[in-house]
Structure 1
Amino acid sequence: MRPYIGRAILVLDWEGYHNATWGNSNWERVFVNRVHERTGVWPLVYTSAAYLYQIPADVRSHCGLWVAQYANNNATGYQTRPWNYGRYGEAMRQYTSNGRIAGYAGPLDLNYFRGTTAQWNKYANPGNTTVTPAPTPQPQPAPQPSRPNTGSGYSVVVRSGDTISGIAARTGLWPVTAWSVPSGNIHRIWPGQTVTYRGNGTPTASAGTGTRIHVVRSGETLSGIFGASGWQRVAQLNGLRNPNLIYPGQQLRY
């Protein structure tokens, strides 16, 4: 974490899932104070509006709140005044996990920060200390598109409500331990992520359209990838408002 101190906002993600300390408000107090002692930064505290009562008053006096509360689970775009905006005095509000942003094919968590750029920076670097820039990452080659029936590398975009066991059942690709997920924990996946099967199974016909992934390369067009008879279906499947606008590294379901 050290390279990010003073450059990125620190956050305590306070949720019940796989949290042995859930309901222990003093644990939160000890954690945020320990972070502050070691870094000089008070972290934000992310939690659902339903569990704000678990955040002690002294923690709230030091730490900004990042509150999740959804009016519904309908697909939505960017909102500047979400439902119950500012009701809890929160610094930031997550108002959907089913957000839609142009150029991205899957659902997203959408958030609104209730402050200025200077205030945002203050959460990361309250003392406005000089931070030595980290080395610029070297560009990595874009991942190659996955293909079924190769014994490994079959990719699926996670849908809302998915579990790895559900994806395995849908695709016929077992065991669940052969699936690779971004978090490294097959029990922690989110809508919009790409998970990849690394086993030796073969996907069943019920896997259906849209579970395969093509990663766009520089210079490619939608019609060039999927042909004159297939690009419209792919554009619709991925929710592309402008089928002429795709970019290198973008993942397209087909």
Structure 2
Amino acid sequence: MRINAFRRAGPLAVIITIILSLIAAPDAMAALNGIDTSSWQTADVTCTVRDYDFAVVKLTQGTGYRNPKSAAQLTCAQNRGKKIGAYHYAAGGDPVAEADFFIAALGGWRGQALLALDFEMGDNPVYYSASAGDWIRSFVTRVHSVTGVWPIIYLPESGVWKIPADVRANCGIWPAAYATMLPTGWQSSPWHGGKFGETMRQYTSQGVLAGYSGRLDLNIFYGDSTAWDAYARGGPGSTGTVIPAPKPSAPASRQLTPKPVIRMDGRIGVETVSQWQRVMGTPVDGVISGQYRVNYRPSLYAVSYGRHQGSTLIRAVQRKLGVRVDGLLGPQTIKAMQRRLGVRVDGILGPQTALALQIALNQGRF
């Protein structure tokens, strides 16, 4: 959701911005630490967390969902003097209709909140399609044409390439990549920080902060409060003091090997499914739901056999694997998983496949 330190506004503006960044007072040079929230967190999360600089709150998804806790989360953050942002979760429908739904929901937050598009694989059939870049372009262009603000774009680090060059020329990016899934507090130099000259980076979903008992997404914004306000206002002349994104941290091969997040026992239970859901960016409940009872998944223990409507996690997996998307963990999906994991392809989810999956998930990948 950021690129370089700011929206690009022509050579002269860039030169002025660089000069300002060099002469700014030291206290204006500090990056900002913040959280992003949705209905998964409590309505008062932005009231209770004690130490943060900004909160980016999920406002809408698709063309029919609005976070019922968004107003409370935004209001509390603003009342405490924190910077605020609002994001739309892409559902892969008509991008202009989704943009209009988001804009309508902004209401009085327009001009006050930094705007963001959350473009990831969960519940978004366009993510793995060839039209992903066109969808992003249509959405951000519509938002800008109505509000005068270019949204920043959140997506997994592996998907940054999906953003067209002309979009990156206007929109900051907000990549997400986690070195480990271990609990952590604020980090001033997160793993891969500055890799893309990003505006902001999400570096964990396992943040632990005083005042909140659950885990939080933690982010660093590579700019000061003036830069944040300029993103929120948009329009000509909205420049702010920015700081260069830090140099990328050491490659993974040079870092300490992270401790395993889950037990590698060849049994896909709640622990493994929860980690799988985190890696795929889908809601985390530790259960693969909506399945049929079958005998070719002997190593799957966290499964429910409800209305056979399929699983959000499995739909995200199927999109990534390029197989039929129905949310059902059947033989063809398992075979595609086995090819990806480099194990025997037999369509049976047994201990060997489960162990290979756990090894990948412990590395934060699938």
Distance (Å, rounded) in 2 between the aligned partners of 1:119 and 1:89: 15
1:16 paired residue number: 121
SS at match of 1:96: strand
Whether contact under 8 Å (2:123, 2:312) holds in the other structure is no
Please give the TM-score of this superposition, normalised by the length of structure 1: 0.52
Distance (Å, rounded) in 2 between the aligned partners of 1:128 and 1:93: 25
Answer yes or no: is 1:6 the counterpart of 2:117: no
Letter in 1 for 2:161: Y
2:285 paired residue number: 163
1:116 paired residue number: 224
SS at match of 1:50: helix
Cα deviation for residue 102 of structure 1 reads 1.4
Cα deviation for residue 83 of structure 1 reads 1.0
Deviation digits for residues 132-176 of structure 1 (CA, Å, limit 9, x no counterpart): xxxxxxxxxxxxxxxxxxxxxxxxxxx7653375699x9xx9979
Answer yes or no: is 1:76 the counterpart of 2:184: yes
Higher helix share: 2
Kindly tell me: are residues 100 and 167 of structure 1, through their superposed partners in 2, closer, same or farther at Cα, counting changes over 3 Å? farther
Distance (Å, rounded) in 2 between the aligned partners of 1:93 and 1:86: 8
Q: Which fold has the larger relative contact order, with Cα–Cα distance below 8 Å and residues 6 or more apart in sequence?
A: 2
Whether contact under 8 Å (1:44, 1:65) holds in the other structure is yes
Letter in 1 for 2:119: W
**TM alignment of 1:101-180, pairs within 5 A:** 101-127=209-235, 161=277, 162-163=284-285, 165=287
Letter in 2 for 1:62: N
Distance (Å, rounded) in 2 between the aligned partners of 1:52 and 1:123: 20
Kindly tell me: are residues 49 and 165 of structure 1, through their superposed partners in 2, closer, same or farther at Cα, counting changes over 3 Å? closer
1:62 paired residue number: 170
2:146 to 27, 31, 38: 38
Structure 2: give runs of 5+ residues left out of the alignment. 1-104, 238-273, 278-283, 291-300, 314-366
Letter in 2 for 1:83: W
What's the RMSD between the two structures over aligned residues? 3.1
SS at match of 2:137: helix
Kindly tell me: are residues 32 and 100 of structure 1, through their superposed partners in 2, closer, same or farther at Cα, counting changes over 3 Å? same
Please give the TM-score of this superposition, normalised by the length of structure 2: 0.37
Percent identical pairs in the alignment equals 41
Structure 1: give runs of 5+ residues left out of the alignment. 130-158, 177-185, 189-254
SS at match of 1:120: helix
SS at match of 1:88: coil
Letter in 2 for 1:163: D
